[in-house]
Amino acid sequence: MKIWKNTPKDSILVGISLTQFAVTPILAITWDTASLPIRIAGGVLITLMMTYNIIVVSHLFTHVPWFVSNRLNAVVSVVNSVNIGQSVQAYQLTHVRNHHRFNNDRQGPDGTTRDASSTYRRGKNGQHEPLLSYALGGAVDSIVGRVKDVGSTVRLWKVGRGEEKLLSLASRRETRRVRELRQVQADRAAHCLSLVVFATISWQWTVFCYLPAFFIALTLVNVQNYYRHYGANPEDRASDSVSHYNRVYNFLTFNDGYHQEHHLSPGTHWSRMPEVKERQRAKLEAQPRIVSPVPALLGFLDRRRPLLHESKPERTG
C-alpha cells in the first residue's frame, strides 16, 4: 500500500515535526530546574524551531501534503498546529489560496491589496511598507488572531462570525469545504489545549519563554516574507519574487531558496524545484529579476539589490 503521496523523503519533514512536538513540552518540564544559560538556550531553540517550521516544514505541507491518506495528513496538521501555535489548515487557506493567487500585489483603486500578506498593503506611493512596521505589525496582528482563536472555544473553535475572509477561502465543493473547516476546528482545539498543558506544566515557562518566542518567531517569518519579495516586480509573474541558490541553504531548507520558481509552480514538490528552474529558464531570463546572495531572512544585508518594482513595467502573465 502506498503511504507517501510524492516521495519517502518527506519522512524527514515528519521526523522534524515529531521532534519539535516532543522537545517543546520537555523544555517546559525542565524550566524550573534549569540554569539561566540553559533557559536562554531553550528560548532560542524554541524560537528557531517555530520559525523553521513555519517557513519550511508547514509551508511545504500546505502546498503538497505528504501522505496519500487524508487522515494522516489531518494528524500532521494537528501536530504542526501545536508546533507553530496556529492552525496549519487556516495557514493553507490564507497562504495558498490568497498569497499565491495575488502574488504580493500592489494597492488597487480601493487603496488596499488583494494579497492580505502583501508587503505593499500599508505602503505609500507604490512602495513597500517599511520593514519594521511590516514585521512587528504583522506579528501583533497574528497574536490578536490567536487570541481570537482561544476565544472561539465558546463555539468549540469553529470558524464563525467575523471570519468571512477565512470562510471565503474555503472550498466551494461542499464535501471538501466541510473537511477543511473541520480541520481548522481540530487544529485550533489542539493548539489551545496545548497552551493549557504548557501552562499546567509551567506557567512561568509559558509566559516568559513560549509566548515571547512565539512573537519573535512570527516577526522573523515576516522578515523572511518581506525579503522574499522586496524589490521584485509584482506586475511580472517571472520576476515577482526573490530566489537564493546557495546549495547548503537549500539542502538545509528543502529548496526554500527557489522562491521565484515556487511562485511559478506552487504545486510542485520541493524536491523538483531545480527542475522548475531549468524548465522555466527562458522565461526567467527574459527580463531582469532578483537573485539574492543571502537567504531572505538576511535580506537586509543585500545592499545592492535592484528595485525592479520602481520601474512599474507593463503587466505580463
Q: Is 20 left (phi over 0), alpha (psi -120 to 50) or beta?
A: alpha
* Residues 186 and 283 both lie in one domain: no
In-domain check, residue 231? no
* Residues 172 and 285 both lie in one domain: no
pLDDT tens for the chain, residues 1 to 317: 899 999 999 999 999 999 999 999 999 999 999 999 999 999 999 999 999 999 999 999 999 999 999 999 999 999 999 999 999 999 999 999 999 999 999 999 999 999 999 999 999 999 999 999 999 999 999 999 999 998 888 889 999 888 999 999 999 999 999 999 999 999 999 999 999 999 999 999 999 999 999 999 999 999 999 999 999 999 999 999 999 999 999 999 999 999 999 999 999 999 999 999 999 999 999 989 999 999 999 999 999 999 999 985 444 44
* Residues 80 and 141 both lie in one domain: yes
In-domain check, residue 181? yes
* Residues 51 and 164 both lie in one domain: yes
Residue 82 to residues 76, 197, 208, 210, 231, Cα–Cα distance (Å): 10, 11, 18, 12, 34
What is the distance between the terminal CA atoms of the chain, rounded to a whole angstrom? Answer: 41
Under 8 Å CB-to-CB from 198, ≥6 apart: which residues?
A: 24, 25, 28, 205, 206, 210
In-domain check, residue 230? no
* Residues 303 and 156 both lie in one domain: no
Domain end marker among 150, 171, 201:
201
In-domain check, residue 130? yes
* Residues 27 and 127 both lie in one domain: yes
Domain that holds residue 75: 10-201
Nearest C-alpha neighbor of 97 from the set 186, 176, 211, 43: 176
* Residues 141 and 19 both lie in one domain: yes
28 touches 86 (CB < 8 A): no
* Residues 192 and 246 both lie in one domain: no
Long-range contact set of residues 94-99: C-beta below 8 Å, sequence gap at least 24: 94/165, 94/166, 94/169, 95/59, 95/62, 96/62, 96/63, 96/266, 97/169, 98/169
Domain end marker among 170, 201, 232:
201
* Residues 190 and 51 both lie in one domain: yes
Q: At what angle do helices 10-29 and 174-201 cross, to 10 degrees?
A: 30
In-domain check, residue 225? no
In-domain check, residue 237? no
Cell 481570537 locates to: 148
Q: Cα–Cα distance between 73 and 14 in angstroms, integer? A: 11
* Residues 63 and 155 both lie in one domain: yes
pTM reported for the whole predicted model: 0.95
In-domain check, residue 206? no
* Residues 176 and 297 both lie in one domain: no
In-domain check, residue 216? no
Domain end marker among 201, 228, 261:
201
**What is the phi/psi pair of residue 26, to 5°?**
-65, -40
* Residues 84 and 194 both lie in one domain: yes
Number of domains, the chain: 2
